[in-house]
Chain A
Amino acid sequence: MTDRMRIVLLLAPAMLVITVLFFGGLAVGLMRSFNYMPVIGLTEPNFDAYVAVFTSREFYQSFLLTFHIAFTSTVISSVLAIWAALLLRRQFLGKAVINFLFQLNLTVPHLVGAIGILYLFSQSGSFARLAYEWQLIAKPGDFPALVFDPYAIGIILQYVWKEIPFIGVIVLANMQAIGTDYEAVGRSLGANRWQAFRYVLLPMIFPGVLSASVMVFAFTFGAYEIPAILGQNFPAALPVLAYRKYTDVDLAARPEAMAMAMVIAVLSAVMIFLYLRYWRRSIRR
């Protein structure tokens, strides 16, 4: 058996799954978004769904909100994850605890964290009760709306809670592979602690941080259950809006849902493309 045949055979099952389920799903979604479904007699593709979507104020508000959620969560998580990784790479008391908690966090599903955030930050939640205890508020309504709010603070908190360990573990592995010698060289050449981090270490860990951030951005943009639990109904996050349209009694809304799904898919594709084309190339030379 030639190598080529062997490779094909080894890859066949995985490629089958990916092409049929993943790309097939995307393709069907694409077709449906154009109202093109020969199986049930719709043979004339049209842009109706897209027109409806792109002229809808609700869509733009959802899109902006979702982008804000994804962007803010990713930036905050990345920065804090780098700090956490810097913390964790030295030996200190409590390091084992944090390490364990990081790994524990990785196993806790987003949904549980979201419910926890809900119970902590809602207007009748634990922090509100603390505020009452400390006589900062008189009734639940006085506590600022951190969940079901227009700035999606609760949602962002949830994502930050989950993604700091995710990005942190990756960045830490990276840092440990690089070692501390490069920074030592920088220090001996006259760089202070901050300069050694900023000019020596940061460029070296940046590719890893970037790839992790891309994954986080895509996830936080397209996740359903967290905004469903913690978010406002209007404007809703884009995945929530899409699901709502899909399960609408009015079947005409389905192609619109597909169109939104395609928008979400395209956005992720754009992220990958940008990452591969520009950042990876400029970093990898």
Chain B
Amino acid sequence: MTHVSIKALSKTYPGASKPSLDQLSLEIPSGELTALLGPSGCGKTTTMKMIAGLLEPTSGDVTFDGRSILHEKPEHRGVVMVFQNYLLFPYMSVADNIAFGLKMRKVPRVEIDARVADMLALVKLPDLGTRRPADLSGGQQQRVALARALIVRPKVLLLDEPLSNLDAHLRFEMRDLIRGLQKDLGITTIFVTHDQEEAVVLADRVALILDGSLRQYAPADMFYKRPADEAVARFFGGHNFITGISDGVLFQSALGPLHLPDGARKGPGKLTFRPENVKVGVAAENTITARVVERVYLGTQTRLRLVVGEVAIEAVLSPDLVEGLAVGASVQVTLPRQTLWVLE
């Protein structure tokens, strides 16, 4: 149950022209499962390593429950990191791997055996104690890695791309396991990923890091409904950015006047809405007439490219809703007020 506070953390590697991480500040409440999301090289793994003590920051601080941990050795911080390739010690059995942290702390043998057995049951691998890591499947190895980390009751758990090595059907199983364990044990957990789906599915809150700086820190749905800026919206697959002017109530652009939700910003900006929120049909407000210029069948969805004058918008709809709609046809679509948002 540790509150993690990251204050203006920066890292510039020796010889680099610009920082890998620039003044990152983040407050992670105790017991939460947080994702550090971003493309490769954005600084998220660097952040993890600095929290774990494997790397020294150029400036800034990291505190656990208000106390700075930067001066403590890695083995004293109470932070355990689980790497993407699990790194189970190849010459030890599963049980010995899990027991490793306890052995280093000189816990009595009897207690070790009992706790290892408990852990194996918790990660649903009760009979595999004597096996070697090389004999296990990827999913099993990950559970052992988790067990090895959790048995020492860390203050903070760090996971590096926990779901990316797994097949689709294993992902949900592991997702449930990780969330279940995390909530039961209440361990503040931070994981790093480049996959927004992984972040959305696993985390309580997501911190999006682009180019070394934090862009938005919020529950997952906010990135879809209320992205902080265009880069964030694009990262999450947003496609529609219409230039125009907002007065807080209406947005004026080549699409015509559109009603905005409460709290929308005022002034010149870009209107954004997600392709999947475009509705076919007429409604009380925000209905526009557009012409279909392209349609692509994607199996579970159909993607449409529509133009209004010179402005193009993208819509993604269930195939049966647009079956008869041909290229060149005119169609009326509605952009529901609550799905609109204005960016700078």
Binding site for B on A (CB under 8 A): 181-182, 184-192, 195, 199-200, 203-204, 283, 285
When the two chains form their complex, are residues B104 and A184 in contact, meaning their CB atoms are under 8 A apart? Answer: no
Quick one: closest A residue to B98, CB to CB? Answer: A189
Q: Output the least CB separation between B264 and chain A (Å).
A: 46
Residues on the A chain within 8 Å of B79, using CB = 188
Task: For the A-B complex with A188-B74, A199-B100 known, give 11 more contacts whose Cβ atoms are closer than 8 Å.
Answer: A184-B81, A184-B83, A185-B87, A187-B53, A188-B52, A188-B79, A189-B101, A189-B148, A191-B75, A192-B73, A200-B89
When the two chains form their complex, are residues B91 and A189 in contact, meaning their CB atoms are under 8 A apart? Answer: no
Cβ contact of A188, chosen from B81, B105, B132, B134, cutoff 8 A: B81
Return the 3 tightest CB-CB contacts between A and B, nearest first: A189-B101, A203-B91, A187-B74
Complex Cα distance, B52 from A204, in Å, reads 23
Residues on the B chain within 8 Å of A195, using CB = 104
Q: Output the least CB separation between B294 and chain A (Å).
A: 47
When the two chains form their complex, are residues A190 and B52 in contact, meaning their CB atoms are under 8 A apart? Answer: no
Complex Cα distance, B73 from A189, in Å, reads 12
A-B contact pairs, 18 of them (CB 8 A): A184-B74, A184-B83, A187-B53, A187-B54, A188-B52, A188-B54, A188-B79, A188-B80, A189-B101, A191-B75, A192-B75, A195-B104, A199-B89, A199-B104, A200-B89, A203-B92, A204-B89, A204-B90
* Interface mask (B291-307 → A, CB under 8 Å = 1, otherwise 0): 00000000000000000
Q: Which of A181, A190, A192 has the most CB of B within 10 A?
A: A190
* Interface mask (B302-334 → A, CB under 8 Å = 1, otherwise 0): 000000000000000000000000000000000
- Say yes or no for B149: interface residue by CB 8 A criterion: yes
Quick one: closest B residue to A91, CB to CB? Answer: B14
Residues on the A chain within 8 Å of B77, using CB = 188
Complex Cα distance, B152 from A192, in Å, reads 15
Known: A189-B149, A191-B100, A199-B100. A184 touches B54 (CB 8 A): yes
Quick one: closest A residue to B158, CB to CB? Answer: A188
Which residues of chain B in 82-112 are interfacial with respect to chain A, using CB atoms and an 8 Å cutoff? 83, 87, 89-92, 100-101, 103-105
Q: Output the least CB separation between A49 and chain B (Å).
A: 46
Q: Output the least CB separation between B316 and chain A (Å).
A: 41
Q: Output the least CB separation between B70 and chain A (Å).
A: 15
Q: Output the least CB separation between A274 and chain B (Å).
A: 20
Known: A189-B100, A189-B148, A190-B104. A182 touches B87 (CB 8 A): yes
Cβ contact of B81, chosen from A185, A204, A285, cutoff 8 A: A185
Which residues of chain B in 42-81 are interfacial with respect to chain A, using CB atoms and an 8 Å cutoff? 52-54, 73-75, 77, 79-81
When the two chains form their complex, are residues A190 and B81 in contact, meaning their CB atoms are under 8 A apart? Answer: no
Q: How many residues of B are in contact with the other chain, CB < 8 A?
A: 26
Complex Cα distance, B90 from A204, in Å, reads 8
Cβ contact of A181, chosen from B74, B83, B152, cutoff 8 A: B83
When the two chains form their complex, are residues A283 and B83 in contact, meaning their CB atoms are under 8 A apart? Answer: no
* Interface mask (B229-256 → A, CB under 8 Å = 1, otherwise 0): 0000000000000000000000000000
Quick one: closest B residue to A182, CB to CB? Answer: B87
Residues on the B chain within 8 Å of A285, using CB = 132, 134
Residues on the B chain within 8 Å of A192, using CB = 73, 75, 104
When the two chains form their complex, are residues B104 and A189 in contact, meaning their CB atoms are under 8 A apart? Answer: yes
Q: Output the least CB separation between A31 and chain B (Å).
A: 45
Residues on the A chain within 8 Å of B87, using CB = 181-182, 185
Residues on the B chain within 8 Å of A189, using CB = 75, 80, 100-101, 104, 148-149, 152
Complex Cα distance, B92 from A200, in Å, reads 9
Complex Cα distance, B262 from A144, in Å, reads 94
Residues on the A chain within 8 Å of B91, using CB = 203-204, 283
Residues on the A chain within 8 Å of B53, using CB = 187-188
Residues on the B chain within 8 Å of A199, using CB = 89, 100, 103-104
Which residues of chain B in 103-140 are interfacial with respect to chain A, using CB atoms and an 8 Å cutoff? 103-105, 132, 134
Quick one: closest A residue to B55, CB to CB? Answer: A184
Complex Cα distance, B296 from A12, in Å, reads 62
When the two chains form their complex, are residues B89 and A182 in contact, meaning their CB atoms are under 8 A apart? Answer: yes
Quick one: closest A residue to B52, CB to CB? Answer: A188
Q: Output the least CB separation between A198 and chain B (Å).
A: 10
When the two chains form their complex, are residues A186 and B100 in contact, meaning their CB atoms are under 8 A apart? Answer: yes
Known: A195-B104, A285-B132. A187 touches B75 (CB 8 A): yes
Residues on the B chain within 8 Å of A200, using CB = 89
Complex Cα distance, B149 from A186, in Å, reads 10
When the two chains form their complex, are residues A190 and B83 in contact, meaning their CB atoms are under 8 A apart? Answer: no
Residues on the A chain within 8 Å of B81, using CB = 184-185, 188
Residues on the A chain within 8 Å of B101, using CB = 189-191
Residues on the A chain within 8 Å of B105, using CB = 190
Q: Output the least CB separation between A81 and chain B (Å).
A: 20
Complex Cα distance, B298 from A82, in Å, reads 58
Residues on the B chain within 8 Å of A283, using CB = 91
Q: Output the least CB separation between A107 and chain B (Å).
A: 33
Complex Cα distance, B212 from A109, in Å, reads 53
Complex Cα distance, B174 from A152, in Å, reads 62
Q: Output the least CB separation between A191 and chain B (Å).
A: 4
Residues on the B chain within 8 Å of A185, using CB = 81, 83, 87
When the two chains form their complex, are residues B75 and A188 in contact, meaning their CB atoms are under 8 A apart? Answer: yes
Residues on the B chain within 8 Å of A186, using CB = 89, 100, 104
Known: A184-B54, A184-B81. A190 touches B90 (CB 8 A): no
Q: Output the least CB separation between A277 and chain B (Å).
A: 19
Residues on the B chain within 8 Å of A190, using CB = 75, 101, 104-105, 152
* Interface mask (B217-238 → A, CB under 8 Å = 1, otherwise 0): 0000000000000000000000
Complex Cα distance, B158 from A187, in Å, reads 14
Complex Cα distance, B89 from A199, in Å, reads 9
Q: Output the least CB separation between A86 and chain B (Å).
A: 18
